[in-house]
Structures are given as C-alpha cells and as structure tokens.
C-alpha cells in the first residue's frame, strides 16, 4: 500500500524541529518547499535544495503532503484555519506538540474540510532526527500513515497507534510526564548534596547509572498494575517505602521538600486507606483518584 514515490512535500514552521525535519526530507531526496513566519530561517534549507515559499498558502499549494511543525495548537490554528480551502484534497501531517483534545479538534476540523489528517508526537530532540533512536508517534488516518511511511521513516522510527488522532499525543505527553518527574527527582538529589560541596556533575555521574538500573523495575511494577493485585509476594511494601528519612535529610540540608513530599503523599493516602502492606505500585490508585 506504500505509494510514496518521493512525493512533493511542504514544511510549515522552521524552528529548531521543523528545520531538522525539512533537512532530513531534503537529504532523502524529497522535493521540499518550506515556509516560516520569519523568512530568514528558510535560508539554510534553500542552500540544501529547498524551495522557499513566500506565504503559507503558496507552500500548501506546492505540496501534496503538508507538514506542520509550529509552536503549539494556537499557532497551527492561526496558520492553517484560513487555508482550509487550499488544504482540501491534500494530506496534512501535524507534528506540533498538542494535547490529545487539541489533536482530535484538528482531526475533526480536517475531516470537515476534506483534508486527510495524521497527528504526530516527536520523541526526539532536533539533532536526533534521521536516526533510529528518534521515535515519532502517530495516530489518525491509517491510510496516510501507511501511504507515507517511507517519508515518516526519514525522521526516525515511526509507530502508529490507531485512528483516534489523540492517541499519539496521549503517549507523547505521558512519556514526557514521566520524564519531567524523573528530572525533578534528579535535580532534587543534586540540590541535596550541593551544601556538602558536591557538584551537580559529580552527582550526575552517580545518578545516571543508578536511575538506569532502577528503570529495570518498570516491568515488575507494570505486571502488578496490569494484574490489579498489589498483594503479590516479593514487592516492596508501601510501609517500607516511607520517605521520612529522605524528607528529614532534605530539610537538614536546608532545601525544599516539595518533590519528595509529592511522592510521600501518594504513598500515605494508600497507607491511610489500609493498604500499607501492599506493594509500592499501588500509588497508581492515589494518582487515578485525585485526593
């Protein structure tokens, strides 16, 4: 079903990410037209063989497939809403980061305007684009995904989740949520050792292998969560996971306890509800039922 044949592509938005996507398309030999609100950002891509369009409408007119990589949902609406007539009958692949609800809103708008729509979530930073470790998540039109997978694969590893256009964004933001909370945990640790004269660099050298090893535990947590039985033998219990020492040591170092307190609250709610002897994974029940 793949019938890509180096289709004519237009890229709207040449920030750090849009430029990387357009660069990868050019490298792979796709005839590429580019447009950016601030036109000077097109120059380096023109030097690589891109056509620069003077307006977003001209760019849409030049492309069978239109890629939108703008700042956010509002900028996508601002740029694309007036171009619905021009986009009709074409394919729109929107890799701008949006919430699932916003992705679904874009998909409904596209369906109403006769535009084939695929939504994307980029799990990579610009310098990773074009490498297999760059993972890009898609949902929306299966037809678009399969027809243009060779194009999508020029950016990294492409994964399709289904016709619900909000799914890629849901996975994207869930992965980012887990990343930011982990980052905050690392930064908390760095702040804890700083008063002892330990640099963040020294701490990072210890934290990176430690946290990498600890991610091995995700599968065990997942098994318990998916099985729905938090009493399974061999788990660290919630009572054992009391973070009192971490809170006291943080206070003694004169730093904020907010990051650790957040986890302690999730644990405590389950202990208070009588589940102290059950496994740590049970904190998902605190998360699923906001206090």
Listed ranges 45-53, 120-128, 181-189, 221-229: which one lies at the site for ligand NDP (CB under 6 A):
120-128
By beta-carbon proximity to ligand NDP, the closer residue of 116 and 168 is 168
Closest to ligand NDP by CB, 135 vs 241, is 135
Do residues 87 and 80 lie in contact, with contact meaning Cβ atoms separated by under 8 Å? yes
> How do 9-12 and 32-35 pair as beta strands?
parallel
Instruction: Answer yes or no whether residue 94 interacts with ligand NDP by CB under 6 A.
Output: no
User: Which DSSP category does 266 fall into?
Assistant: H
Query: Which range binds ligand NDP by CB under 6 A, 74-82, 100-108, 179-187, 225-233?
Result: 74-82
Nearer to ligand NDP, 70 or 144 (CB): 70
Minimum CB distance to ligand NDP smaller for 43 or for 272: 43
Any contact of residue 16 with ligand NDP (CB under 6 A)? yes
Distance linking the first and last C-alpha atoms of the chain: 49
Minimum distance of ligand NDP from residue 271's CB (angstroms): 38
State the nearest-atom distance from the C-beta of 107 to ligand NDP, in Å.
Answer: 17
**Residue sitting closest to ligand NDP (CB):** 15
What residues does 139 pair with on adjacent strands? Answer: 119
Query: According to the binding rule CB under 6 A, does residue 69 interact with ligand NDP?
Result: yes
Query: Of these, 54, 88, 108, 125, which contacts ligand NDP (CB under 6 A)?
Result: 125
- When binding is defined by CB under 6 A, the residue of 1, 3, 5, 38 that contacts ligand NDP is 38
For ligand NDP, the binding residue among 28, 37, 105, 111 (CB under 6 A) is: 37
Question: Contact at 8 Å (CB) between 192 and 251?
Answer: no
Q: Are strands 116-123 and 135-140 parallel, antiparallel or unpaired?
A: antiparallel
Residue 199: is it exposed, middle or buried by C-beta count within 10 angstroms (0-12/13-18/19+)? exposed
70, 93, 115, 281: which one contacts ligand NDP (CB under 6 A)? 70
CA distance 261 to 22: 44
Q: Which residues contact 133 (CB under 8 A, 6 or more apart)?
A: 124, 156, 157
* Other beta carbons less than 10 A from residue 6's beta carbon: 12
Give the C-alpha separation, 287 to 18, whole Å.
35
Q: Which is nearer to ligand NDP, 36 or 139 (CB)?
A: 36
The reply on whether position 126 binds ligand NDP by CB under 6 A is: yes
Q: Is 152 in the site for ligand NDP (CB under 6 A)?
A: no
What does the angle CA 136 – CA 137 – CA 138 come to, to the nearest 5 degrees? 125
Site for ligand NDP, rule CB under 6 A: 13-18, 36-38, 41, 69-72, 75, 78-79, 96-97, 122, 125-126
């Amino acid at each position: 079903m793949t019938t890509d044949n180096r289709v004519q592509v237009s890229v709207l938005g040449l920030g750090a990410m849009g430029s990387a996507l357009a660069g990868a398309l050019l490298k792979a030999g796709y005839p590429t037209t580019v447009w950016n609100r601030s036109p000077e950002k097109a120059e380096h891509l023109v030097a690589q063989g891109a056509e620069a369009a003077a307006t977003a409408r001209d760019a849409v007119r030049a492309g069978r497939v239109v890629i939108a990589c703008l700042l956010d949902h509002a900028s996508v609406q601002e740029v694309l809403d007036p171009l619905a007539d021009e986009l009709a009958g074409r394919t729109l692949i929107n890799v701008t980061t949006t919430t699932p609800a916003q992705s679904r809103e874009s998909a409904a708008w596209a369906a109403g305007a006769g535009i084939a729509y695929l939504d994307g979530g980029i799990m990579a930073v610009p310098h990773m684009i074009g490498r297999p470790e760059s993972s890009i998540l898609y949902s929306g039109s299966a037809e678009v995904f399969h027809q243009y997978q060779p194009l999508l694969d020029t950016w990294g590893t492409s994964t399709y989740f289904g016709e619900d256009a909000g799914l890629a964004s849901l996975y994207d933001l869930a992965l980012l949520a887990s990343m930011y909370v982990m980052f905050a945990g690392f930064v908390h640790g760095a702040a804890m050792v700083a008063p002892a004269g330990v640099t963040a660099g020294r701490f990072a050298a210890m934290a990176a292998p430690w946290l990498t090893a600890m991610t091995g535990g995700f599968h065990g947590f997942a098994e318990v969560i998916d099985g729905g039985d938090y009493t399974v033998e061999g788990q660290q219990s919630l009572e054992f996971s009391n973070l009192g020492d971490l809170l006291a040591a943080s206070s003694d170092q004169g730093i904020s306890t907010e990051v650790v307190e957040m986890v302690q609250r999730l644990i405590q709610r389950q202990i208070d509800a009588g589940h102290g002897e059950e496994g740590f994974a049970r904190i998902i029940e605190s998360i699923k039922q906001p206090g």
